């Protein structure tokens, strides 16, 4: 262990148990409010810290990294996704980047299923009806939705979260299909009773539900675009708990308004909080405030992974969750 405690700057408020433990181990600068750091504050942080602990709301680009001081040697991201960090530039400057993979798998998969149910069973519409006091009683034809059992689910991105969604979907009686950059090993396909589609176009044209579970990379930007949305069944729905940039939000809005697809459940958005206002108006859309990983247990585990990565680095070893090119 180094004689001097590492200087660690945290960019957002974290669970109290995580902040307490960090304070015990490191010379840590915590946030007093939960507001994101300004660009000026981030610049000040990278100039003087040994370790930066950012979140998805912080843009750690080449310009910011160009102003980092010689002390900054680790960016210990609080979260699994690192598309907000210029990892290549960080590596060129000798700065390690770590993340927290696997922690939010179950929580995000649960949310994907919740969105499927919410859209297909029209749960928000029913909730709104009750809250307004407009319910006139049960009727054989009122609030009819559709069951998940028997529907074809197409999973876009069959990594940890995609496989967790497949496991849950199978329990609901759904038929699992997937498209992935690489086909899974036969034993994994068999375990999930999953059918692989080499062609994304062919898969989504035959699915009843499409679940987006792939990361945002240059290759996946607007992977679901206007052309592919037109391939979907008019009765199909799409859910996204991954990254908003994977779907062309304006094209999705047009498709929903035109009745070209039946509905959507979204937890992430292409432009963060700046959501297409026409999307908000639609009754066949369920919009959530990026809460797929928002469980007490998940956030505490994320914090524990961050601490382990920093502590391992401080002890002179490779952080266990070091981001390497093969992961990008």
3-state secondary structure of 287: strand
Residue 158 sits in the same domain as residue 47 = no
Residue 260 sits in the same domain as residue 142 = yes
φ, ψ of residue 255 in degrees (nearest 5): -65, -40
Q: Is residue 74 part of a domain?
A: yes
Q: What percent of the chain has pLDDT over 90?
A: 94
The token pair that represents 217 in the structure block: 């990379």
Residue 62 sits in the same domain as residue 208 = no
* Residue 320 pLDDT exceeds 90: yes
Q: Is residue 52 part of a domain?
A: yes
Q: Which domain holds residue 237?
A: 105-287
Please give the Cα distance from 155 to 112 (Å, whole number).
11
Q: Is residue 1 part of a domain?
A: no
Residue 197 sits in the same domain as residue 244 = yes
Lookup result for tokens 């609030």 = 143
* Residue 120 pLDDT exceeds 60: yes
Residue 235 sits in the same domain as residue 272 = yes
Q: pLDDT category, 327, cuts 50, 70, 90?
A: very low
The token pair that represents 247 in the structure block: 């779907």
Residue 87: CATH number of its domain? 3.40.50.720
Q: Is residue 11 part of a domain?
A: yes
* Of 325, 311, 314, the residue nearest 92 (C-alpha): 325
The answer to whether 228 and 205 have CB atoms below 8 angstroms apart is no
Q: Is residue 2 part of a domain?
A: no
Helices 160-171, 105-120: crossing angle, 10 deg rounding: 50
Distances (CA, A) of 100 to 79, 103, 171, 302: 5, 6, 28, 6
Q: pLDDT category, 100, cuts 50, 70, 90?
A: very high
Residue 95 sits in the same domain as residue 155 = no
Residue 282 sits in the same domain as residue 305 = no
Residue 170 sits in the same domain as residue 280 = yes
Residue 62 sits in the same domain as residue 116 = no
The token pair that represents 318 in the structure block: 């490779």
Residues in CB range of 252: below 8 A, 6 or more apart: 224, 229, 238, 264, 279
pLDDT value at residue 68: 95
Biggest alpha carbon distance in the chain? 73
Convert 46-65 to b/e letters by CB count within 10 Å (16 or more is b).
beebbbbbbbbebebeeebb
3-state secondary structure of 29: strand
The answer to whether 192 and 169 have CB atoms below 8 angstroms apart is no
pLDDT value at residue 1: 43
Q: Is residue 89 part of a domain?
A: yes
Residue 118 sits in the same domain as residue 238 = yes
pLDDT tens readout for residues 45-85: 999 999 999 999 999 999 999 999 999 999 999 998 898 99
Please give the Cα distance from 276 to 298 (Å, whole number).
29
Helix (H) / strand (E) containing 237: strand 237-240
Q: What is the pTM of this model?
A: 0.89
Residue 90 sits in the same domain as residue 110 = no
The token pair that represents 178 in the structure block: 């997937």
3-state secondary structure of 197: coil
Residues in CB range of 157: below 8 A, 6 or more apart: 179, 180, 212, 213, 214, 215, 242
Q: pLDDT category, 324, cuts 50, 70, 90?
A: confident
Q: pLDDT category, 3, cuts 50, 70, 90?
A: low
10 DSSP β-pair partners: 53
Average pLDDT of the chain is 95
Q: In what order do the strands lie in the sheet with 175-179?
A: 194-196, 175-179, 152-156, 209-212, 237-240, 263-266, 285-287
3-state secondary structure of 97: strand
Residue 254 sits in the same domain as residue 314 = no
DSSP state of 142: T
* Residue 328 pLDDT exceeds 60: no
The answer to whether 52 and 96 have CB atoms below 8 angstroms apart is no
Number of domains in the chain: 2
Q: In what order do the strands lie in the sheet with 7-10?
A: 27-29, 7-10, 51-53, 74-76, 96-98
């Amino acid at each position: 262990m180094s004689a001097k405690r590492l200087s660690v700057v945290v960019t957002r408020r974290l669970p109290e148990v995580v902040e307490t433990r960090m304070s015990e181990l490191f010379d840590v600068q915590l946030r007093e409010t939960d507001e994101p750091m300004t660009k000026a504050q981030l610049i000040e942080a990278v100039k003087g810290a040994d370790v930066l602990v950012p979140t998805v709301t912080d843009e750690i680009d080449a310009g910011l990294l160009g102003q980092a001081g010689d002390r900054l040697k680790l960016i210990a991201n609080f979260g699994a996704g690192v598309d907000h960090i210029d990892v290549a530039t960080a590596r060129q400057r000798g700065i390690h980047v770590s993340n927290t993979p696997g922690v939010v798998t179950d929580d995000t998969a649960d949310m994907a299923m919740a969105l499927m149910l919410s859209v297909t069973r029209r749960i928000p519409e029913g909730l709104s009806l009750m809250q307004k006091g407009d319910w006139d009683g049960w009727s054989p034809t009122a609030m009819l939705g559709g069951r998940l059992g028997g529907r074809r689910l197409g999973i876009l991105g069959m990594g940890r979260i995609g496989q967790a969604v497949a496991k849950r979907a199978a329990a609901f009686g759904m038929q699992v299909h997937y498209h992935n950059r690489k086909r899974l090993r036969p034993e994994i396909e068999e375990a999930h009773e999953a059918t692989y589609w080499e062609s994304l176009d062919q898969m989504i044209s035959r699915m009843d539900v499409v679940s987006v579970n792939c990361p945002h990379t240059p290759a996946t930007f607007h992977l679901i675009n206007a052309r592919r949305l037109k391939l979907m069944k008019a009765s199909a729905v799409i859910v996204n708990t991954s990254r908003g940039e994977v779907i062309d939000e304006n094209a999705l809005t047009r498709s929903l308004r035109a009745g070209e697809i039946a509905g959507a459940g979204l937890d992430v958005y292409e432009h963060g909080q700046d959501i297409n206002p026409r999307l908000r108006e639609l009754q066949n859309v369920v919009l959530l405030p990026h809460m797929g990983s928002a469980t007490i247990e998940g956030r505490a585990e994320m914090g524990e992974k961050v601490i382990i990565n920093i502590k391992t680095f401080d002890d002179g070893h490779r952080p266990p969750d070091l981001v390497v090119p093969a992961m990008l």
